[in-house]
């Protein structure tokens, strides 16, 4: 199993075990994504409305070798006027598939997909200032760290800082992510089959210095340095 096997596809009915697990299992969501137990049926209700592929947000399953390993998501962010917008992306992999480079490949495919299918000029991602693996993954994709978002995410009983990362359209072809994680949906008939299954399940027919959270002092001592800022993501 390697990053060359990574595929993104629409969510199907038999994928909802993944979202149900993420909603009730802290390990499935991960330390930096966990913010308490959630309604395990909420994703299904959204799926019934638009298949988790709406005009302002979307979600795709990440698989490798036919095995579902997580999901990627995106949502619209506006700055002032509705026409001043960009995408913000995020990823969640099951714990048994982390730290293998699979997340980097999946995020690279996602940004390519969004640039190829929407007119967005900018894609953002957030990541916790302590989340070193995701920071490295973002930079491999080609994201640039824009700065620190102070006291943005509430977890572990306190507000934590995030790094804001961004990637512009032209930077994808010139940055370190160029040629890496090329979009690889299932080939040929498998694409039509995956999309058809997702559509057929629908009820309709579509026509500063960062603030450190609990445990960060221990992390800083072990790393020999204080954490700096943070990056983007859902």
Q: Do 99 and 77 contact (CB within 8 A), yes or no?
A: no
- pLDDT-based confidence at residue 3 (cuts at 50, 70, 90): low
Instruction: Report the DSSP pairing between strands 67-79 and 122-128.
Output: unpaired
pLDDT tens string 67-110: 999 999 999 999 999 999 999 999 999 999 999 999 999 999 99
How many beta carbons lie within 10 A of that of residue 177, not counting itself?
23
For residue 19, what is the enclosing H or E element? helix 16-24
For residue 201, give every residue at least 6 positions away whose Cβ sits within 8 Å of its Cβ, in sequence order, or none: 12, 13, 47, 51
Write down the pTM of the prediction: 0.76
Q: Is the pLDDT of residue 165 over 50?
A: yes
Per-residue pLDDT at 33 = 87
Name the nearest CA neighbour of 86 among 146, 37, 40: 146
Architecture of domain 3-232: 3-Layer(aba) Sandwich (3.40)
pLDDT class for 212, splitting at 50, 70, 90? Answer: low
User: Is the pLDDT confidence value at 193 over 70?
Assistant: no
Q: Determine contact, residues 2/43, Cβ cutoff 8 Å.
A: no
Note the pLDDT of residue 29: 83
More confident residue, 204 or 84: 84
Please tell me which residue, 184 or 137, carries the higher pLDDT value.
Answer: 137
Residue 227 near residue 129, CB atoms below 8 Å: yes
Residue 184, pLDDT score: 47
Q: Tokens 């988790």 label which residue?
A: 52
pLDDT at 57: 98
Instruction: Determine the 3-state secondary structure of 112 from DSSP.
Output: helix
Rounded to an integer, the average pLDDT of 57-67 is 97
């Amino acid at each position: 199993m390697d990053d060359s096997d990574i595929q993104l596809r629409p969510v199907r009915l038999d994928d909802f075990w993944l979202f149900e697990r993420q909603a009730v299992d802290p390990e499935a969501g991960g330390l930096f994504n966990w913010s308490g137990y959630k309604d395990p049926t909420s994703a299904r209700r959204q799926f019934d409305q638009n298949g988790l592929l709406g005009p302002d947000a979307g979600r795709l399953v990440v698989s490798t070798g036919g095995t579902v390993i997580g999901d990627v998501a995106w949502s619209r962010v506006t700055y002032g006027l509705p026409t001043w917008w960009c995408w913000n992306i995020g990823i969640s992999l099951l714990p048994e598939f982390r730290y293998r480079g699979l997340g980097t490949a999946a995020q690279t495919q996602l940004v390519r997909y969004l640039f190829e299918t929407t007119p967005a000029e900018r894609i953002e991602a957030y990541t916790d200032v302590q989340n070193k693996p995701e920071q490295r993954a973002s930079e491999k994709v080609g994201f640039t760290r824009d700065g620190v978002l102070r006291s943005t995410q509430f977890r572990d009983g306190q507000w934590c800082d995030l790094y804001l990362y961004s990637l512009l359209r032209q930077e994808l072809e010139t940055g370190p992510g160029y040629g890496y994680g090329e979009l690889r949906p299932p080939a040929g008939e498998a694409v039509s089959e995956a999309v058809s299954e997702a559509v057929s399940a629908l009820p309709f027919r579509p026509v500063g210095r960062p603030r450190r959270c609990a445990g960060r002092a221990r992390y800083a001592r072990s790393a020999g340095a204080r954490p700096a800022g943070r990056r983007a993501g859902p």
